[in-house]
Chain A
Amino acid sequence: DARVTQTPRHKVTEMGQEVTMRCQPILGHNTVFWYRQTMMQGLELLAYFRNRAPLDDSGMPKDRFSAEMPDATLATLKIQPSEPRDSAVYFCASGLVPPENYGYTFGSGTRLTVV
């Protein structure tokens, strides 16, 4: 089965450090999402792209977060500087629109801990 690959799986970093999370979407998928999962807030949509163009990043704290798709095989989410409240699991998902056909495929996530 085709998979969405996220790296790293786990990351522990100190407050103030830069964190970069990477996602390799499934080949041929034209839509990529970044979600953040916490116990308190559940699943929050941070940003998403279609055909590599950012469509909406209104869910993302702009002062410290940035999301890019330098090419069709890579999406990145950066946090600089990181803060303890950023500790969460970050998921990437990819798919074809509309989702009614096949849904979106999620990666296994990056568990980020900021100490």
Chain B
Amino acid sequence: GDSVTQMEGPVTLSEEAFLTINCTYTATGYPSLFWYVQYPGEGLQLLLKATKADDKGSNKGFEATYRKETTSFHLEKGSVQVSDSAVYFCALSQGATNKLIFGTGTLLAVQP
């Protein structure tokens, strides 16, 4: 079945460092891809999305490009802040069911 694989965390960075969180997927057809963020004690929030190959989603300085040839949707940010510390989830939407299938999440800790 469809699935999402994320890099294991935690990822620990210093403020202003460059961030990459890897995400690859397995799916039949052409899913839409999402990144969600979960701050401590809260629910998941949509961070960005891409609906077709070569689309780039962006929001709050984060970017991810839908790469069909490598089945990847890596999350990047040029300069992280302490306030970016959270768990990041990669997800795909599954065909006609419109269900979201999530990866296991990657904890990001940014130190001052």
Contacts and interface: CB of A to CB of B under 8 A. Distances in A.
A108 B41 CA distance: 7
B102 A104 contact: no
Contacts of A93: 43-44, 100
B89 A108 contact: no
Given A42-B105, A43-B89, A43-B105, A99 B98 contact: yes
A68 to B, nearest CB: 19
Contacts, number: 54
A98 B93 contact: yes
Q: How large is the interface on A (under 10, 10 to 19, 20 to 34, 35 or more residues)?
A: 20 to 34
Contacts of B36: 103, 106
B100 A106 contact: no
B44 A106 contact: yes
18 contacts: A42-B103, A45-B99, A48-B99, A56-B99, A91-B44, A98-B93, A99-B34, A99-B98, A100-B32, A102-B46, A103-B34, A103-B46, A104-B46, A105-B46, A106-B36, A106-B44, A107-B43, A108-B41
- For the complex of A and B, the 8 pairs showing the least CB-CB separation, nearest first, are A106-B43, A103-B46, A42-B104, A43-B102, A97-B98, A106-B44, A100-B32, A100-B51
